[in-house]
């Protein structure tokens, strides 16, 4: 079984990977993308995820571990394995605000789409991804609300532990949550 942490970029996937790591689950990460102002504790990414459509055998390295796979790449996961997907949901206004702040810090050109158009596109994407995941017989998914994770980390850690059916340290997991790192609140 492979644990997959997913969601749209800036939805809290790095936090959830940190929690799983602290809880005692091995995480698959390459450390290529270093911690920065946007993710001061690191990104917990594994570069080969981006190549799974061409190199599906690479996922064997994730067996018995957690790996971060953004929502737009979930379909590249080979169907010959079993996955438990932890899918993060964060209010789209916060996601868009966080993405915009990151783009500004990087000095990149802002999106040509308005914030509301970007949020609508991401919401439509999520509906498609969730419908696809629900049809997959090799995947079980648990939806996790970002605000629940921040507001009740102990309860959510226990819920994640139960879903994964693993002997994780829920207290160590919840201790990873730092509400001060919840910076883009999008009017919440």
**Strands 139-145 vs 83-89: parallel, antiparallel or unpaired:** parallel
pLDDT of residue 34: 75
- How far apart are alpha carbons 169 and 127 in whole angstroms? 32
**67 has which bridge partners?**
4
- How far apart are alpha carbons 74 and 10 in whole angstroms? 16
DSSP letter at 153? H
pLDDT of residue 11: 85
Torsions phi, psi of 24, nearest 5?
Answer: 110, 5
Residue pLDDT, tens place only, 87-117: 999 988 887 776 666 666 666 666 666 778 8
Give the CB-side neighbour count of residue 131, counting CA atoms within 13 A. 6
Thinking of the domain 2-178, which architecture would CATH place it in? 3-Layer(aba) Sandwich (3.40)
pLDDT of residue 108: 66
- How far apart are alpha carbons 70 and 13 in whole angstroms? 8
User: Which residues have C-beta within 8 Å of that of residue 98, sequence separation ≥ 6?
Assistant: 10, 38, 183, 184
Please choose, from the candidates 68, 94, 93, the residue with its C-alpha nearest in 3D space to the C-alpha of residue 16.
68
pLDDT of residue 95: 79
Q: Are 84 and 3 in contact (CB under 8 A)?
A: yes
Ranges of the chain whose pLDDT falls below 70: 35-40, 42, 98-113, 180-188
pLDDT of residue 183: 45
pLDDT of residue 27: 97
Q: Would you call 141 helix, strand, or coil by DSSP?
A: strand
- How far apart are alpha carbons 92 and 108 in whole angstroms? 21
pLDDT of residue 186: 47
Residue pLDDT, tens place only, 46-68: 999 999 999 999 999 999 999 99
Torsions phi, psi of 141, nearest 5?
Answer: -125, 145
Q: Are 77 and 4 in contact (CB under 8 A)?
A: yes
| Structure tokens given for 4 | 């997959």
């Amino acid at each position: 079984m492979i644990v997959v942490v997913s969601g749209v970029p800036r939805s809290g996937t790095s936090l959830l990977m940190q929690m799983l790591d602290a809880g005692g689950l091995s995480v698959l990460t390459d450390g290529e993308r270093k911690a920065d102002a946007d993710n001061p504790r690191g990104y917990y990414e594994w570069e080969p995820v981006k190549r799974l459509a061409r190199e599906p055998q690479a996922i064997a390295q994730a067996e018995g571990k957690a790996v971060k796979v953004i929502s737009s790449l979930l379909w590249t996961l080979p169907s010959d394995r079993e996955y438990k997907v932890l899918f993060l949901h964060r209010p789209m206004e916060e996601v868009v605000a966080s993405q915009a702040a990151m783009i500004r810090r990087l000095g990149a050109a802002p999106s040509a789409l308005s914030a509301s158009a970007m949020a609508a596109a991401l919401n439509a994407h999520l509906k498609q991804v969730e419908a696809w995941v629900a049809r997959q017989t090799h995947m079980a998914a648990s939806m996790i609300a970002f605000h629940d994770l921040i507001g009740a980390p102990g309860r959510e850690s226990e819920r994640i532990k139960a879903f994964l059916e693993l002997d994780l340290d829920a207290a160590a997991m919840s201790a990873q949550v730092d509400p001060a790192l919840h910076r883009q609140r999008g009017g919440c």
